[in-house]
Amino acid sequence: MTGWHYWLPLLVLLTSLVASALIFWVDEEHSKLRSSINLGAAVLKISLVVVILVGVAAGQVYETRFALLNNIDFVLRADALGVMFAGLSSVLWLFTTIYAIGYLEDSPNRRRFFGFFGLCVASTLGIAFAGNLFTFLVFYELLTLSTYPLVAHRGTAKALRAGRIYLTYTLGGGIVLLIGVLWLYGLAGDVEFGDQEKLSDLAVTHPTTLKWVFLLLIAGLAVKAAMVPLHGWLPQAMVAPAPVSALLHAVAVVKAGAFGIVRVVYDVYGITLTWELGLLLPLGVAAAVTILYGSVRALMQTDIKRRLAFSTISQVSYIALGISLFGPIGTMGGLVHLLHQGLMKVTLFFCAGNYAETLGIHRICELNGVGRRMPGTSLAFTVGALGMIGLPPVAGFISKWYLGTGAVAAGIYWVLPVLVVSTLLNAAYFLPLLHRIWFRPQTGDWPQERTLGRWDTSLWLLIPTLVTAAFSLLAGLLAASDFSPLAWVELIVSTEYLP
């Protein structure tokens, strides 16, 4: 029982955890050492996740388990779904770290920053591999706490206020989730993911109670997933440094909420039970409302990062929408969007950060003619934006394709107009930016220009941006190949989630 396979999930978790402990211990001035630890841990973690990935694809099960309290186990299990999220989180950890090293060059409090950054990634990994609701809850709360110092990192009044709002929302959501988990524990005992028979039996006797529990669980998770009307913290959190926003929007907080919803629907309740209880339709409607509301609000923003934030609100709900479509195709759309949106959004936030760092551009109207000054960044931004609209051959198209065909195949026709209107709205708020970037002449000087190397900007900032943009493009272009996110999602759906 104690073998290499047994410890592997924990080991992955520990890479980030140990790295962050070491970083807290290294002095502020030793930035080289800190960066080496950070990057070394990130590379090690990716390698470990790849090992797990290959193993899981071959049908291997990795599980770390020990008893904490009576009847409650601490379980880390690498299943296909968890590995997907872990893979996203570890890949993006590497790139956001590279980016953050360049971004925070010579700024104060880097020790604190990178320490909590590592903690935050460790928590997402815990969320990914959590094997039961209890373990999930622990890491979910840990994520809340480790992100707060990142959001409030700058220490300005605005940042502190944003941090406070963030904490209010997420802790509130955490409490609601906790109540839901405890209630469920009271009913059914410890709920392992993937063990749905317990609840199926319960549904015969207590259907109404289960509905209420579901509502509590989803409401608690929806805070992090920024579903309307619980989204208020996300636009505020934009004051955080760009790499934090990138991580927050792409993989850490927002995605943790969405991932939690996936777990609750598929692994706690089971898709069939959720459907039988009539809970999928309300979830779908809530997602659709969020999609449209987020897009409309995004349209009204004048600040680049705020526009991106509202776009996240809208895009993350595609995942919930995909889950609510009762059928394998829609599920694939939702799950694959978890990865695709991560890649595209991280690209867009990197770009926003590059514009801000290099030229001092924060507002949309300042973007005029930036394509000629920063072609690489602008190209990456274009790829990300077109992907968000859902245009081929970028990854977003693949998500939209599966969501749309999945909805029609399941006979849920109203989703189709929602998708189309969302596409039009996305075009309406991204295309004007692209027009400014590429087709308008520069107006006046840049707000705050700095020269960072002979390229667009410093290579620390440019390379991660270009790489994630290339990933977003390739994930769509080569979607049908064996190494695409889509292929992995197909594996998840075919082995575990076929309803």
Partner 1 sequence: MMPVLLFLTPTWPLLLLALLVALRSAGASRTVFGWLWLTAPLPGLLLAALATGDPADTSLEMPWLLLGSLWWVDEVRQVFLLTTSLLWLFAGIYARGYLGARADSDRLQLARLRSFEYLWLLTLAGNLLLLIAEDIPSFYTGFVVMSFSAYGLVIHFRSPEALRAGRSYLYLAVLGEGFMLAGFLGTAAQVPEPMMSQIPLILEPDNVSALPLMICLLLGFGVKAGLPLLHVWLPVAHSVAPTPASAVLSGAMIKAGLLGWWLTLPLGSSNWPQVGQVLIVAGLVAVLGAALLGSLQSRAKAVLAYSSISQMGMMTSLLGVGLNDLTLWPLLVPALLLFVAHHGLNKGSLFLAVGIAEKLKTRWAPLLWIALLLSPLALVGWLGSGTLTKTLMKSSLYSEGWSQLVFWLTLGLLGTTLLMVRYLWLLQQMQQQLAEKQTPSPWMLASWLLLLPLALLVPWWLPLPESTPLAWPDQKGWIGLAWPVMVAFVLAVMAWALTRKSSRWQNYAPPAGDLLIVYQQAGRSLVAAFERGVGWLQKFSQAGQKLFIGLRKLEPWLLRISQQEIAWRREAALLFSFLLVLLSGLLLL
Q: List residues near partner 1 by CB under 8 A.
A: 229, 296, 300, 329, 372, 386, 390-393, 397-398, 400-401, 404-409, 413, 416-417, 419-421, 423-424, 427-428, 431, 438-439, 441, 476-482
Nearer to partner 1, 214 or 326 (CB): 326
Nearest C-alpha neighbor of 243 from the set 143, 351, 163, 149:
351
Which position has the token pair 């790139």?
A: 95
- Helical H segments across 58-79, by residue range: none
Whether the Cβ atoms of residue 407 and residue 415 lie closer than 8 Å to each other: yes
Nearer to partner 1, 212 or 414 (CB): 414
Sign of CA dihedral 334, 335, 337, 338: positive
Q: Give CA–CA dist 372/351, Å, rounded.
A: 15
Q: How many CB atoms lie within 10 A of CB 275?
A: 16
Least distance to partner 1 from the beta carbon of 208, Å? 29
Q: Give CA–CA dist 163/144, Å, rounded.
A: 11
Q: Which tokens go with 14?
A: 């520990």
Least distance to partner 1 from the beta carbon of 209, Å? 28
The amino acid at 272: T
Q: How many CB atoms lie within 10 A of CB 37?
A: 21
Nearer to partner 1, 16 or 423 (CB): 423
Q: Which tokens go with 276?
A: 């039988």
Least distance to partner 1 from the beta carbon of 485, Å? 13
Q: Give CA–CA dist 70/271, Å, rounded.
A: 29
Which position has the token pair 């989630």?
A: 497
**SS3 (DSSP) at 303:** strand
Nearer to partner 1, 194 or 499 (CB): 499
Whether the Cβ atoms of residue 113 and residue 104 lie closer than 8 Å to each other: yes
Least distance to partner 1 from the beta carbon of 404, Å? 3
Q: Give CA–CA dist 178/333, Å, rounded.
A: 29
Least distance to partner 1 from the beta carbon of 134, Å? 28
Least distance to partner 1 from the beta carbon of 255, Å? 24
Nearer to partner 1, 216 or 329 (CB): 329
Nearer to partner 1, 68 or 420 (CB): 420
Angle, nearest 10°, between helix axes 4-25 and 80-103?
20
Nearer to partner 1, 25 or 439 (CB): 439
Least distance to partner 1 from the beta carbon of 1, Å? 41
Least distance to partner 1 from the beta carbon of 335, Å? 16
Least distance to partner 1 from the beta carbon of 427, Å? 5
Q: What are phi and psi of 296, to 5 degrees?
A: -65, -45
Q: Give CA–CA dist 93/217, Å, rounded.
A: 28
**SS3 (DSSP) at 275:** helix
Nearer to partner 1, 95 or 397 (CB): 397
Nearer to partner 1, 224 or 400 (CB): 400
Q: Give CA–CA dist 287/308, Å, rounded.
A: 18
Least distance to partner 1 from the beta carbon of 41, Å? 33
Whether the Cβ atoms of residue 228 and residue 291 lie closer than 8 Å to each other: no
Which position has the token pair 């906790």?
A: 178
For residue 393, whether the previous peptide bond is cis, meaning omega lies within 30 degrees of 0, is: yes
Least distance to partner 1 from the beta carbon of 91, Å? 21
Nearer to partner 1, 135 or 423 (CB): 423
Nearer to partner 1, 194 or 375 (CB): 375
Q: Give CA–CA dist 270/247, Å, rounded.
A: 29
Least distance to partner 1 from the beta carbon of 411, Å? 10
Nearer to partner 1, 13 or 287 (CB): 287
Nearest C-alpha neighbor of 433 from the set 384, 349, 364:
364
Whether the Cβ atoms of residue 359 and residue 421 lie closer than 8 Å to each other: no
